[in-house]
A and B are shown apart, each in its own frame.
Chain A
């Protein structure tokens, strides 16, 4: 994971400077096929916000837009990554 993307996810989880452990997002999804970046993928910093850790919603802030993603699996993976697991 690049330094840039790791910082984005740390910011999303409110982990801040204390979260210095490198985390692999693929944990828990070892069987999944690696995702490929599509042509429409964001090409700038992205902030991911999860307001409800029990929910399935991730708010992605990119540029001047907000993208709402409903994906419990993605939420779980981000939460696990933010928790260092």
Chain B
């Protein structure tokens, strides 16, 4: 998945597991940037009585680099606190009709601190606010009636900034069941080394929730010096974004209380910028380490980008489908540009050869989600809008930031399959299938919201019907 359970260690620590990061310009409010960081993957909505929540002992952060050093120049830091209101064993003892309802037994709040690097060594920390409310999870219509109003009341506005932290429907879509069964893409089942009948993809994330931290802030909050310009060519308008989660260095089990207590400073245990980076590119032996490192050190992982394992697997798993890709033996400079440095100007041009896009952040190789904040959002109703983002001719989408609707699995498959090689190597002709690759899934949750925090309200526990599974071979 994008980064759901993508490394051995973090897969055992879901509350700290960052799953997706999105960054995009607000579709209707000028100069407002929306950044969404999701954590805690694959929440079955009916998973009571101890429903999902942010961890009080995890430090959640959204990091922004606005220089060519690829370091956190601006950081939004989130600390959570859980209260227990009454001695019941239940999450709620009656209907939760407001965020201060006494019937809600386990409310959470959080505080937000904004850190800004000042010079080489100094940092300015500003507490934006404390005790911001987290809405309850969506238990069901009896426990959390009017959930939409309840959740919306947890959106906190502070001056020009908005904050939301709470449960949401996971917007990511992917066919995990097929992809991790020897790289199968159901629409291309017939061309697989072990062929089966072609069919539509199945969204494995359907009906699952996650926990979201979302911010909407003016781009002057994020861009170096606080004075963005209107030109996409002005490099200071491009920011690099990634999310992290950190835990205390040691955990001590207190047998007197049956709980864990932290000791020592917080250490980063999860990181996420571009979708699928750690999941698909980094080898198994390095995934845990990668989660502890900073983007500025990602040159250590450049080889996995320049020579991706998946590039060699595709021609093997789909014999005869990718002959040009199989023969291509140059380092993948296109992938390095997309994922590690940003795309320089002059690479993505209009029909007249005029440069229309860049999100280059300099030569430091760093996995960050790069958003050029001077590029206006693409109207979803316009012809230029594409869920395949820049690969599909839409510079308003991934890898220029990432929108909720962007098919990052399809984009990544096409890129690795060679569709983006001509950006840096015009002599290369992509295989015909490269530009058509997809896993056949689409977002299948409740409709996304038209305004902050954009992700759909979480599916309810009562409303959830378990999926189906069988051990039988579908071909037998």
Query: Would you call the interface of chain B mostly helix, strand, loop, or mixed?
Result: strand
A63 to B264, alpha carbons, bound, how many Å? 6
Give 9 A-B pairs besides A45-B261, A65-B264 with Cβ atoms closer than 8 angstroms. A8-B252, A11-B252, A47-B250, A47-B252, A61-B263, A61-B264, A62-B263, A62-B264, A64-B266
Does B252 lie within 8 Å of A45, measured CB to CB? yes
Residue of A nearest to B249 (CB): A61
Report the bound CA distance from A46 to B250 in whole Å.
Answer: 10
Q: Are A66 and B264 neighbours in the complex by a CB distance under 8 Å? A: yes
Report B279 CB to chain A, min CB distance, Å: 30
How many A residues, CB 8 Å from partner? Answer: 13
Measured in the bound complex, the distance between the Cα atoms of B248 and A79 in whole Å is 24
Size bracket, chain B contacts: 10 to 19
Give 9 closest A-B pairs by Cβ, nearest first.
A61-B264, A61-B263, A47-B263, A47-B250, A66-B264, A61-B250, A66-B265, A61-B249, A64-B265
A61 contact set on B, CB distance < 8 A: 248-250, 263-265
| Nearest chain A CB to B265 CB, angstrom units | 5
Complex Cα gap A66–B248 (Å): 10
Query: In the bound complex, what is the Cα–Cα distance between A8 and B250 (angstroms)?
Result: 11
Interface membership of chain A positions 29-46, coded 1 if the CB is closer than 8 angstroms to chain B and 0 otherwise: 000000000000000011
Q: Which residues of chain A have a CB within 8 Å of any CB of chain B?
A: 8, 11, 45-47, 49, 59, 61-66
Chain A residue with the shortest CB-CB distance to B267: A66
| A66 CB contact (under 8 Å) in B249, B261, B262 | B249
* Count: A-B pairs, CB below 8 Å: 32
Taking CB atoms and an 8 Å cut-off, the chain B residues in 229-254 that contact chain A are 248-250, 252
Looking at A11, A61, A62, the one whose CB has the most chain B CB atoms below 10 A away is A61
A49 to B252, CA, bound (A): 13
Nearest A-chain residue to B253, judged by Cβ: A11
Bound-state CA distance A72–B240 (Å) is 44
CB of B266 within 8 A of CB of A49, answer no
Kindly provide the distance from the CB of A47 to the nearest chain B CB, expressed in whole angstroms.
5
- Give A46 to B264 CA distance when docked, in angstroms: 9
Q: List 24 A-B contacts (CB under 8 A).
A: A11-B250, A45-B252, A45-B263, A46-B263, A47-B250, A47-B252, A47-B263, A47-B264, A49-B250, A59-B264, A61-B248, A61-B250, A61-B263, A61-B264, A61-B265, A62-B263, A62-B264, A63-B263, A64-B248, A64-B264, A64-B265, A64-B266, A65-B264, A66-B249
Min CB gap B74→A, angstroms? 22
